[in-house]
Amino acid sequence: MGRGKISIRRIENPTSRQVTFSKRSNGLLKKAKELAILCDAEVGLVIFSSTGRLHEYASSSMVKVTERYNKVKEESRQLVDPTADVKHQPVKAEVAGSSPVNPDLGSDKYATTRL
Amino acid sequence: MGRGKISIRRIENPTSRQVTFSKRSNGLLKKAKELAILCDAEVGLVIFSSTGRLHEYASSSMVKVTERYNKVKEESRQLVDPTADVKHQPVKAEVAGSSPVNPDLGSDKYATTRL
DNA sequence: TTGGCTATCTATAAACG
DNA sequence: TCGTTTATAGATAGCCA
C-alpha cells in the first residue's frame, strides 16, 4: 500500500524499519480495535519493536485476555491426545461466562465443525 | 475497504458479523505477521470471536510474549509513581536477552525520549 | 529526524454464482 | 449457505517540508 510494492522480509535499513514500524504498528492497533468493535470480539495485541518498545491494545484488558487464553488452551489440551501439542489452528472456546456480554450467542447458527 | 463505507460500530446482523469477523480476523493476523517480519518485532495477537472461537498469532510464542509483557509492565511500574497506574501508552522495554535475535540493537540510534 | 502528502497497493463490503 | 469476484475504502511506501 504505497508508492511501490514491497516484499515481506526484514527491512535492513534501521531508519526505514523504524518508520515502517511506526506506521504499521499504528495501523495494526487501529484494525484490532475495529475488529473488536465491529465483531464484538475480545482482542489482545502486544507489539515489541526491535528497539524494545512496547505497544499494546486490549479490548477488555490484557490480563483478562491472557487468562481466557490460558483457560482455553488448557481445555483444548484435555480434548485432544495429550501427547499431541496444540498449534496455531483456531480451537474451540466456549468458556461459559468468561465473556462479559454475548447477545444472540446461544443459537449455534454458523457452527462449523468444532475441532 | 469495500463497495461501501461502514461505520465502526457493532454489526447487529449475526451473519454479517460472522462474515466480517472471518475476513478481518485473517487480515489482522496477516498484518501482524508482516509487521513481525518487516520490522523484526515481537508480536502476540489473541482474538476471541463473539462465538468464543480463538485465533492467535505469535512471532515467537505466546508464552514468551506474555512473559516479556509482564516483565516490562513490572519494570515500568517501578519507574513511575507507584500510585499512578500504567495505561495504554507505549512504555520503555529494554529487556536484555529476552528476544532471540536483535542485530544492531545496541546502538541507540532512534532513541526518542524514553518514558 | 518527525511529521504530513499522495500515488499505489491492499483489504474487504457487497454482489455474484 | 457458501466460496468467489469486483469495485471501493483504507492503509502505507517513498517523498519532501
B31: nearest CB among A28, A38, A39:
A28
How many CB atoms sit inside 10 A of residue B64's CB? 16
Per-residue pLDDT at B92 exceeds 60: no
Global pTM reads 0.77
Top residue of A19, A53, A114 to mutate, by most chain B CBs within 10 Å, is A53
Helix axes A14-39, B14-38, angle to 10 degrees: 170
Across B52-59, average pLDDT:
97
Contact B68, A56 (CB under 8 A): no
Q: Is the pLDDT of residue B77 over 60?
A: yes
Cell 491494545 appears where?
A57
The H or E element containing residue A15 is helix A14-39
- B5-45 pLDDT per residue, tens: 999 999 999 999 999 999 999 999 999 999 999 999 999 99
Strand A54-58: give its sheet, edge to edge. Answer: A54-58, A42-48, B42-48, B54-58
Q: Inspect the interface and report whether the beta carbons of B38 and A10 lie closer than 8 Å.
A: yes
**Would the CB atoms of A35 and B51 count as touching at under 8 Å?**
no
Among the partner-chain residues B14, B37, B52, the one whose CB lies closest to the CB of A93 is B52
Report yes or no: B2 and B9 within 8 Å, Cβ to Cβ: no
- Of B89 and B24, more confident: B24
> Mean pLDDT, chain B, as a whole number?
79
- Grouping H, G, I as helix, E, B as strand and the rest as coil, residue B26 is helix
Size of interface A-B (CB pairs under 8 A): 198
Query: Is the Cβ atom of B3 within 7 Å of strand D at any atom?
Result: yes
pLDDT per residue of chain A (115 residues) written in tens, 0 to 9: 899 999 999 999 999 999 999 999 999 999 999 999 999 999 999 999 999 999 999 999 999 999 999 999 998 888 766 555 444 444 544 443 333 333 333 333 333 333 3
Q: B 67-106 residues with CB below 8 A of A? A: 68-69, 72, 88, 90-95, 99, 102, 104-105
Residue B102 has pLDDT above 90, yes or no: no
